[in-house]
Structure 1
Amino acid sequence: MRRTSLLWLVAAAVLAVVVAVQVVVAAGDRDSLAQAADAPPTVAPGVDVLAGIAVIPARIRGYDYHRAAFGDAWDDDNAAPGGRNGCDTRNDILDRDLVDKTYVAITRCPTAVATGTLHDPYTNATVAFVRGNQTGASVQIDHLVPLALAWDLGARHWDDRQRKRFANDPANLLAVQGQANQDKGDAEPATWMPPNTAFHCQYAMQFIEVLRGYELPVDAPSAGVLRDAAATCPAA
């Protein structure tokens, strides 16, 4: 399996298919992916955005899935900007995706976000975040390619280290409105896309690059949805 963080694989894969994905967080750039929705990815005419990704007839749901197979919920071992800084991945993503932030030191993070604002890409809502009360749950961290979906698409055959890396890879994580995250659950694109249609292009391109980076296939119904969403991207 590839050992370079998917954060960097995204950019390389995009160049390979002449798709200018502008949402990847580069070293030192902690701007929100949600903020990048104002400058969505561009796709060159005639490019198959799913090039190199296997298409299977349908998702076969595996009832042997268990969250523990992907390790602890969050760790501090990702190699992306902010990784190995004393803060777990959840706190790194909150810091990356929220704006107007204040900070507090907690046991698992010396610079945890205490308060902030999320401009939610899934619903286009503005959501206040306050650590330690109910508004903390109003912002959740979503796996763009859900863990249970990845399991069904082949992650069940990965080793524990690969699954843990996938679960904590910032390129597959996004701070979103809590209810939208709950509504999505472990759904594939064929059965759920963000209510904010303006985000469909970016969601699809990011989703595709996670599949490509981890050599996962896509189910045929979702392949059609992702191609349709990519078709809404501006032309390169």
Structure 2
Amino acid sequence: MARRTHFRKRRFNASNPLERVLILLVIAAMVGVGIGLGLPMFSPTVSKITGGYTATGDAADTLATLVVDDQPDSSGYDRDLFGFRETDDDGNGCDVREDVLARDLTDVVYKYPGSCKVQSGTLDDPYTGETIQFVRGVDTSALVQIDHVVALANAWQSGARDWTTAERYRFGNDSYNLLPVDGTANQDKGSASAAYWLPTNGDYRCSYVARQIGVKAKYQLTVTSKEKDAMLTVLHSCPGQPVPES
């Protein structure tokens, strides 16, 4: 009868000095890799050294032209000063919310033939990547909200506080700065700049930041250092990112 040979798995012997050294070297290497990957995300200085704030393309070039102001003034802000949904620039009888819904939703159904009011449609939400079925109604309309990509409060402290009423109304109802998005995501964003909020849909972040840059350039608004660094960090991952056309 053949004799079976059993092979025992060899394990590290922590009492062996040589093997203890090997274990420590492996741990040190793993920690080093983790620090190398993680530090640029948390340390602005390391990001600058490692090139995390370098970017190429139209969006990056346009960002470089924006004035940096690290002492933004938010005093006196009032959302109503921007007159959102109080104009009808194209004269179609509907405010800009209806116009943006009609522009960005698919399978649009209007309230009645000849109406410009959207009754229903499908939104491929850029902020979450989810598909939302929009239906007009007291309990359902808020599922899709219109976001100012550069928030009104951010615009105010970035220069809009010095504008005329007409200039603020133009900004508040400029469809270039408006997107229909998931209502919860819009509420989560609030008035945050790119330094404090980005879409959870990573595939849209480059386009989102590029549009913010386009809006700020169009209206000669400022950015803070943190905001600019956050934008560059995003653009670093998408070389050649263009600014959306207005």
Q: Give the TM-score taking structure 1 as reference length.
A: 0.73
Distance 1:84 1:64 in 2: 31
Report which of the two structures shows the higher radius of gyration computed on alpha carbons. 2
Aligned residues: 187
Question: How far does the alpha carbon of each residue in 1:30-84 deviate from its partner, in whole angstroms, 9 at most, with x for none?
Answer: xxxxxxxxxxxx9539953412210122544x2421112112534212xxxxx22
The letter for the 1-side match of 2:176 is: A
Q: How does 1:81-230 map to 2 (within 5 A)?
A: 83-105=90-112, 110-230=115-235
1:135 CA displacement: 2.2
Identity %: 43
Distance 1:213 1:149 in 2: 15
Conservation of the 8 A alpha-carbon contact between 2:59 and 2:214:
no
Q: Which residue of 2 aligns with 1:67?
A: 79
The letter for the 2-side match of 1:51 is: A
Distance 1:178 1:123 in 2: 10
The letter for the 1-side match of 2:61 is: D
Conservation of the 8 A alpha-carbon contact between 1:119 and 1:126:
yes
Residue 50 in structure 1 maps to residue 55 in structure 2: no
Cα gap change, 1:116 to 1:55, in 2 (>3 Å): same
Distance 1:186 1:120 in 2: 19
SS of the residue corresponding to residue 206 of structure 2 reads helix
Cα gap change, 1:92 to 1:196, in 2 (>3 Å): same
Q: Which residue of 2 aligns with 1:21?
A: none
1:91 CA displacement: 0.1
Bigger strand fraction: 1
The letter for the 1-side match of 2:240 is: A
Bigger helix fraction: 2
SS of the residue corresponding to residue 110 of structure 1 reads coil
Conservation of the 8 A alpha-carbon contact between 1:49 and 1:230:
no
Distance 2:176 2:59 in 1: 26
Which stretch has the larger CA shift, 110-119 or 210-219? 110-119
Conservation of the 8 A alpha-carbon contact between 1:55 and 1:220:
yes
Question: Structure 2: where are the runs of 5+ without partners?
Answer: 1-54, 242-246
Q: Which residue of 2 aligns with 1:5?
A: none
Cα gap change, 1:199 to 1:72, in 2 (>3 Å): closer
Distance 1:58 1:193 in 2: 22
SS of the residue corresponding to residue 68 of structure 1 reads helix
The letter for the 1-side match of 2:97 is: R
SS of the residue corresponding to residue 85 of structure 2 reads coil
1:88 CA displacement: 0.9
Query: RMSD in angstroms over aligned alpha carbons?
Result: 2.3
Distance 2:232 2:75 in 1: 28
Conservation of the 8 A alpha-carbon contact between 2:110 and 2:116:
yes
The letter for the 2-side match of 1:50 is: L
Distance 2:112 2:238 in 1: 40
Distance 1:149 1:47 in 2: 20
Distance 2:199 2:128 in 1: 7
Question: Structure 1: where are the runs of 5+ without partners?
Answer: 1-41, 78-82
Cα gap change, 1:165 to 1:179, in 2 (>3 Å): same
